[in-house]
Amino acid sequence: MSTSLGLTLYLILGLALARLRLAQGCRPGDALFGGLFWPLDFSRRWIDLLVALVLDAGVWNKRV
């Protein structure tokens, strides 16, 4: 993949995520920050999910 195509895709995905965050009621500054650094935002959300699953493991074991 060429650098220009990679940058274009990165910016398009970032703008789409920023628009989604604005539609969800996020502040414009937070939405733009999330749109610019969307890989970090996604990794942070995955880490939050993993920590929640580990801390709530007892609930998951009871449901099985």
Q: Is the pLDDT of residue 6 over 80?
A: yes
Q: Which segments of the chain does DSSP mark as H helices, in order?
A: 3-23, 28-36, 38-55, 57-63
Range of the domain at 41: 3-63
Q: How many CB atoms lie within 10 A of CB 17?
A: 19
**Residues 45-59 pLDDT 10s:** 888 888 888 887 665
**Residues 7-39 pLDDT 10s:** 999 999 999 999 999 999 989 988 888 888 888
Domain total of the chain? 1
pLDDT value for 62: 61
Q: Largest Cα–Cα distance of the chain, in whole Å? A: 50
pTM: 0.60
Q: Given its phi and psi angles, is residue 25 left (phi above 0), alpha (psi -120 to 50 degrees) or beta?
A: left
